[in-house]
Structure 1
């Protein structure tokens, strides 16, 4: 299992809409509202060998009102 995080910047006033759509898709294990350069931090798990870039492009970046994303790939949990 691969774990990674995606920081999501939303169009102005659309954070709750994006978070709701992300939750409805049931693909993120956790979704948080954040302050700073991005509005949402979402945690994902995919099978080993899955293409994370394709997953993000097909399942996250297709959500209406997302302006930008930043993917953080993790290697090991301590």
Structure 2
């Protein structure tokens, strides 16, 4: 599995609704509220046989009130 982090910018006032929608999909390992440019950060494990871009799109594309995402790939833990 590949560990990725997805930062999510939500429309103002909609962060909790977006977080609830993400949790309903049962695909995130951890989900945090963050300060700064993005509102949420999700830790996701992508199965080895899945394309990361398509997997992220499947998680996020149908969630209303998401303005932007930023995905960070990881290589290994220290």
Partner of 1:50: 50
TM-score of the aligned structures, taking structure 2 as reference length: 0.95
Deviation at 1:57, TM superposition (A): 1.0
Structure 2 CA distance, aligned partners of 1:8 and 1:47? 21
Segments of structure 2 that go 5 or more residues without pairing to the other structure are none
Instruction: Please provide the CA RMSD for this pair.
Output: 0.8
Count the aligned residue pairs: 78
Runs of 4+ displaced beyond 2 Å:
none
Secondary structure of the structure 1 residue equivalent to 2:28: coil
